[in-house]
A and B are shown apart, each in its own frame.
Chain A
């Protein structure tokens, strides 16, 4: 018999091994895991946050979590729930996640920069340090990138494109 804490540690270890299907980091590093709860009957309840409501990877991530956590001996059942509150933002991406994304040419806005207006999505449009050459002679090429959560940026020095994670206002709707 394992204690509740050990139980949660085992579940967390599994979650840390689950990659995001579209980004080079785990769902834990990306900040998608909001809560892990162990019920008295040994069932596990996992609360996840979607990056964007239209992310096509959500189903795959949910199934992956459900299958892998359920396969633990100490888990009788695993339930996955997606919630919108708190809202996911790039501030939830861990240091390790940021480092891994940077190695793959994906930049992330630094955490804690204030949002500039109500209900806005703060897009960075210039001077993002290029992940390939470090130059800040960069510009927004298109706010719609290969996935819902990334923009396409262009570096005018090394003439490469890179991607920047979009930082959604967590309290969209507040004025």
Chain B
């Protein structure tokens, strides 16, 4: 008997969608910690709206995978073993309620998400293309908004610049692993991978241009292909805490709805 979840996890195209969905699920979950606690009202609303976008983007992608593999999207989102989640380390690093860390995390990620969604919009599957286009148009708002904040804080007071630079120094060590290939058996020149080095180059060009305008520094290199991490289910310690908290309601009341 075939197991739909195993089919999903062994389909190279599907796991490229799954990694983006997992990133957005965890990022949205982590960011929603700030709801009600943002530094000013407008930022609270913006932060919560972005978390809402990320969670809904995860759902739109899980729905696509669910339709294709005959699975409930919630089952894909919540009922996998930790080693079957393909999110990168960056999205589950605790921000310790440091606003600069929360902002830089979202900024590093949105510059990765936008070109990846562009790539998903080039696939042959019409349903995936339509979904990726919708999400890409919404992601554009995150890019514009977060770029603006990076420039404002970088050219702000000494304290603002110092805080944002420290957050960059902390998170940039995780940024390279955004580009880890999911699926250890995938070849780097495989057409599914849409060229890892080109994706990195686009990310690097776009982030560098904002950093230059902001007067901030960042050094990120593309890790060796053999470096294995979250995209292959090998997660850092902080993943377990994020995963446990995210699943609290689901495990307390499976199938809960409201």
Chain A interface residues (CB < 8 Å from chain B): 50, 52-56, 83-85, 87, 119-121, 123, 141-146, 148, 152, 166, 168-175
Contacts and interface: CB of A to CB of B under 8 A. Distances in A.
Contacts of A121: 137-138, 140-141, 144
B129 A173 contact: yes
Interface stretch (B47-55, B77-85, B97-105): B47-55
B61 to A, nearest CB: 10
A83 B63 CA distance: 12
B169 interface: no
B117 interface: yes
Contacts of B126: 85
A142 B55 CA distance: 21
Please provide the 9 A-B residue pairs with the shortest distance between their CB atoms, ordered closest to farther.
A172-B137, A54-B56, A173-B121, A173-B133, A144-B46, A84-B130, A144-B49, A85-B130, A142-B42
Most B C-beta atoms less than 10 A away, residue of A85, A144, A174: A144
Contact of A143 (B121, B136, B141): B141
A56 B52 CA distance: 9
Contacts, number: 93
A152 B42 contact: yes
A53 B21 CA distance: 14
B55 A143 contact: no
Nearest to B52: A54
B57 to A, nearest CB: 6
Contact of B117 (A56, A145, A152, A173): A173
A148 B52 contact: yes
Interface in B126-153: 126, 129-138, 140-141, 144-145
Contacts of A175: 118
B45 interface: yes
B140 A120 contact: yes
B60 interface: yes
A54 B49 CA distance: 9
Contacts of A171: 133
Contacts of A173: 117-118, 121-122, 129, 132-133, 136-137
27 contacts: A52-B56, A53-B53, A53-B138, A54-B49, A54-B55, A54-B138, A56-B52, A85-B133, A119-B136, A119-B137, A120-B140, A121-B138, A121-B141, A141-B42, A143-B46, A143-B141, A143-B145, A144-B42, A148-B52, A148-B53, A152-B42, A168-B138, A172-B121, A172-B140, A173-B117, A173-B129, A175-B118
